[in-house]
Amino acid sequence: MGAVGQFFQSIPIDLLIIQTVNGIVTGMILALVASGLTLIFGIMDVVNFAHGELFMLGAYMGVIAFAATGNFWLALALSALIIGIFGAALQIVTLRPLIGRDPLNTILATFGVSLILQNYALWQFGPVARKISEPISAEFTLFYLQYPWYRIAIAALSGAIIGSLYLFLKFSKFGVWIRATTQDRVMAQAMGIPVPLVYTGVFALGAAMAAASGVLFAPFGGVDYSMGLQWVLEAFIVVVVGGMGNLGGSIVAAIFISLLEAYAAVWLDPSQAVIVSFVVLILTLLFRPTGLFATPK
C-alpha cells in the first residue's frame, strides 16, 4: 500500500489536468484526420497512404494563403477547397483506373503518391519548417501555465467540422448517396446514383478534411514536409482501433489514444510516448480485431 500510495501522491494533479486538455486537443485534430481516412476506406475500400501528405500540403497551402490574404480563417477555407479539388484530381488520375482490381494495387498506388508528394514538398519548400502565427493569441491561466485559447479553438473547430460531416452524411442528398453506396454499390448504381462521382467526391471530402486539420495544426507545431508521416501512422492506428469505416469509433479512438499518450508523456520521453498507441493497436488486434469501439451490426 505504501508504494502505491506514494505513486499516486507523486502524480501532480495539475499536470494531469493540463495533459488531459492537451490530449483532447491533439485527439480532436487526430480525429479530424482519421475521419477522412476511415470515410475513404469505408466507402471505397481504399487505404489512402497519401492522407498524411494531403494533411501536409494543406498546411503548406494554409501558409501560402495566409501570406496572401493575411486572414487565418480565410486561409483555412481556401486550403481545404484547393486540396479538396486536388484530391479529386488525384483520385481520378490514379485511383479510378484501379477500381475493380485487387485492393493491393490501391495500397501501393497511394504509397507511391505519398512518396511523390513528400519529395515534391521537400523540393519545393525546402527542409526548414514554416510557421503560421496563431489567429487567436489570447491565453488563459491553467494552473501554472499560460494556456493558449487557440488550442481550445482548434478542438472546438475540429469538433464542429466533424459534426457538420455527420449532419451532411445523415441529411443531405449526397450524404444519402454516400451511405447507399457504402451499403450496396451495385444497387446504388441501379438507382441512378453515379457511383464513380460519389467515390471522387468522398475522396475530395477526405482530402479537404485532412487539409483543414493541417492548417489548424500549423500554428501549433510548424509545417514541414515530413509532418504527414507521423500523423498518418497514428491515424491508421486510430482507424483500426476505432473500426475501419466506423466514423464514431475513430473519433472516440482518436481521443482515447491521444489522452493515453499525453499521460504517458508525463513519465516518458515524447518520442517514446508513441509506443502507447502501438500497444493499444496490438491489444486491439489480439482481442477485438474489428475495432475496440466498433458497434456490432
CB of 280 to another protein, least distance (A): 11
Residue with smaller CB distance to another protein, 73 or 278:
278
Residue with smaller CB distance to another protein, 113 or 209:
113
Residue with smaller CB distance to another protein, 212 or 247:
247
CB of 120 to another protein, least distance (A): 6
CB of 62 to another protein, least distance (A): 22
Interface residues with another protein (CB under 8 A) are 47, 94, 97-98, 101, 103-105, 107-109, 111-113, 115-116, 118-120, 122-123, 173, 176-177, 179-180, 183-184, 186-196, 233, 236-237, 240, 244, 269, 271-272, 274-275, 278, 281, 285-286, 289
CB of 27 to another protein, least distance (A): 19
CB of 23 to another protein, least distance (A): 20
Residue with smaller CB distance to another protein, 135 or 175:
175
Residue with smaller CB distance to another protein, 71 or 172:
172
Query: What does the DSSP assignment read for the chain?
Result: -HHHHHHHHHS-HHHHHHHHHHHHHHHHHHHHHHHHHHHHHHHH----TTHHHHHHHHHHHHHHHHHHH--HHHHHHHHHHHHHHHHHHHIIIIIGGGTTS-HHHHHHHHHHHHHHHHHHHHHHH-SSPB----S---EEEETTEEEEHHHHHHHHHHHHHHHHHHHHHHHSHHHHHHHHHHH-HHHHHHTT--HHHHHHHHHHHHHHHHHHHHHHHHHHH-B-TTHHHHHHHHHHHHHHHH-TT-HHHHHHHHHHHHHHHHHHHHHS-HHHHTHHHHHHHHHHHHH-TT-TTPPP-
